[in-house]
Amino acid sequence: MSLLQDLLGKDFVCDQCGKRHVVKLLDVRFGAGALAEVPELCQRHGGKRVGLIHDCRTRDIAGAKVAELLAKAGCDVAELLVPDPAPEHVPVCDDLTHDALAAKLPKADIYVAVGSGVINDLTKWLAGDAQKPYISVATAASMNGYASANVAPTLKGVKSLVRGAEPVAIVSVPSLLAAAPAKMTAAGLGDVLAKPVSSADWQLNRLVFDEYYCPFCAGTIDDIEPIYMDNPGAIGSGSETGIGALFEALILTGISMTMAGTSSPASGGEHLVSHTLDMMSSVDGVPHDFHGRQVGVSTILGAALYEELAALENPVFKVPDSPSDPAFWGFLAPSVESYHEKKRARVAAAIAEFRRRPGLWDEVRATLAPQLRSAARLKDCLRRAGAAHRYTDLGIGRDRYLAALLHAHEIRERFTVLDLARMAGILPARAGELVDRWLAD
Ligand SMILES: [Zn+2]
Ligand SMILES: [Zn+2]
């Protein structure tokens, strides 16, 4: 049995971290006839009154079909169409959209989301508010949030984290995922490739601050990773096997975050750069690329920073930071500074730990090395899959990417490779050189 099937509905005390891990996801149905199983899943996990949430694109792809199957099975289906905010604009997950949908949310025993990132996040959030279960019908292997309870909405312009409902079931059809836009699948690959680098950041926090860390949660996709990493062309060409493996890895990544009770197993410094690009867009009102594409590009750089750090024999750590720059952050400045203030204290504490424990640096290098993947291998994988691996792929220039890289550590308290690289003087001094070497072409 695969690890994924084995983990469904499990509630166990982990022999690797001692913590109780609970997986509320009970069913994953992935196959040609999987949509036909939605009515039975709804009735088993909720009831006959079903609230179906989709947008005009995902309704055409699968939503209308699911509604028809539910009605045929005797369910009482109320559809909620998430409107496009403007012509040519797709919906976003923010407080305004949430509030507008909440006012129209049909009463139901169970909700079904048909879509990928935004539709799932909104449904997770609304079902969580209503304290009802929800089922995810995934239309693209584009992100790792399917199995998690975390919602990442923009609240008053600031990228935030809200707890919603985790799905009781995830359903998808291989041909549906293979037919999704290649750009979306490539985004999923970028998000999943981040895991080794994010998990290294997580382990770093254990080593330096003695914080909670679980090797089992960090390693959930180790066995699947070679399927897409050794054969990224299968993702690029839309092979159902390659995309199926990617989809399974994305679900397992979501489960690992839920089990750990933190996003740390799959969200480190590379995610902060992506969030910063999103926030820069909300400050200057220009669009940004998909989450997973920004994450993939930044994962190459995160791995490169770890390689530069690993080469240092005796780094001299310095407190690098002055307060965050209000001119850069615009209306977000006060909220960013509140995080950055905590971050500065954290960096100072890290430096004190390295001074206090002379063997710590070598322990960090030795422990993280086997966990990481090389920047060259990550870049090659993204390139061969037809995914974003240069800043120009994200529709931005060198200066904008550099600005995100140099400000990303300010937005969260979480200690990552970005902070370690700043303490060691690699950032900001060599930022331009590394971006040119790894992300220019
Ligand atoms: Zn554990
Ligand atoms: Zn992500």
Residues 17-64 pLDDT 10s:
999 999 999 999 999 999 999 999 999 999 999 999 999 999 999 999
Tell me the three state secondary structure of residue 297: helix
Q: Would you say 154 and 185 are in contact if contact means Cβ atoms under 8 Å apart?
A: no
**How many whole angstroms from 245 Cα to the centroid of ligand 2?**
17
Q: Which ligand is nearest to the CA of 259?
A: 1
**How many whole angstroms from 438 Cα to the centroid of ligand 1?**
34
Q: What residues form DSSP beta bridges with 150?
A: 163
**How many whole angstroms from 258 Cα to the centroid of ligand 1?**
11
Show the tokens assigned to 26. Answer: 């009970």
Q: Which ligand is nearest to the CA of 14?
A: 1
**How many whole angstroms from 295 Cα to the centroid of ligand 2?**
7
pLDDT tens-digit series, residues 198-231: 999 999 999 999 999 999 999 999 988 888 888 8
Q: Which ligand is nearest to the CA of 17?
A: 1
Q: Which ligand is nearest to the CA of 159?
A: 2
The per-residue pLDDT for 302 is 98
Cα separations (Å) of 297 from 148, 378, 390, 407?
23, 9, 6, 16
**How many whole angstroms from 216 Cα to the centroid of ligand 2?**
19
The per-residue pLDDT for 430 is 97
Q: Which ligand is nearest to the CA of 272?
A: 2
Q: Is 11 exposed, middle or buried (0-12, 13-18, 19+ CB in 10 A)?
A: exposed
Which residues have C-beta within 8 Å of that of residue 36, sequence separation ≥ 6? 69
The per-residue pLDDT for 152 is 84
**How many whole angstroms from 13 Cα to the centroid of ligand 1?**
7
The per-residue pLDDT for 1 is 57
Q: Domains plus CATH for the chain?
A: 3-8+21-180 (3.40.50.1970), 190-212+262-439 (1.20.1090.10)
Q: Would you say 207 and 360 are in contact if contact means Cβ atoms under 8 Å apart?
A: yes
**How many whole angstroms from 134 Cα to the centroid of ligand 2?**
21
What's the whole-number average pLDDT of the chain? 94
Q: Is 207 exposed, middle or buried (0-12, 13-18, 19+ CB in 10 A)?
A: middle
Q: Is 131 exposed, middle or buried (0-12, 13-18, 19+ CB in 10 A)?
A: exposed
Residue 87 to residue 84: CA distance in whole angstroms: 7
Q: Which ligand is nearest to the CA of 20?
A: 1
**How many whole angstroms from 374 Cα to the centroid of ligand 1?**
26
Q: Would you say 64 and 37 are in contact if contact means Cβ atoms under 8 Å apart?
A: no
Q: Would you say 291 and 316 are in contact if contact means Cβ atoms under 8 Å apart?
A: no
**How many whole angstroms from 59 Cα to the centroid of ligand 1?**
38
Q: Would you say 248 and 4 are in contact if contact means Cβ atoms under 8 Å apart?
A: yes
Q: Which ligand is nearest to the CA of 220?
A: 1
**How many whole angstroms from 255 Cα to the centroid of ligand 1?**
12
**In this structure, are strands 27-30 and 169-172 parallel, antiparallel, or unpaired?**
parallel
Q: Which ligand is nearest to the CA of 19?
A: 1
**How many whole angstroms from 24 Cα to the centroid of ligand 2?**
20
Ranges under pLDDT 50 in the chain: none
**How many whole angstroms from 389 Cα to the centroid of ligand 1?**
33
**How many whole angstroms from 74 Cα to the centroid of ligand 2?**
38
**How many whole angstroms from 128 Cα to the centroid of ligand 2?**
21
Residue 426 to residue 352: CA distance in whole angstroms: 19
**How many whole angstroms from 259 Cα to the centroid of ligand 1?**
7
Residue 196 to residue 371: CA distance in whole angstroms: 6
The per-residue pLDDT for 156 is 81
Residue 236 to residue 65: CA distance in whole angstroms: 27
Q: Which ligand is nearest to the CA of 12?
A: 1
**How many whole angstroms from 196 Cα to the centroid of ligand 2?**
13
**How many whole angstroms from 183 Cα to the centroid of ligand 1?**
34
**How many whole angstroms from 254 Cα to the centroid of ligand 1?**
14
Q: Which residues are found with C-beta within 5 Å of the ion, ligand 2?
A: 191
**How many whole angstroms from 114 Cα to the centroid of ligand 2?**
20
Q: Which ligand is nearest to the CA of 216?
A: 1
∠ CA 6-253-175, rounded to 5°: 80
**How many whole angstroms from 353 Cα to the centroid of ligand 2?**
30
Q: Which ligand is nearest to the CA of 152?
A: 2
Q: What residues form DSSP beta bridges with 89?
A: 86
The model's pTM: 0.92
Q: Which ligand is nearest to the CA of 255?
A: 1
Q: Which ligand is nearest to the CA of 194?
A: 2
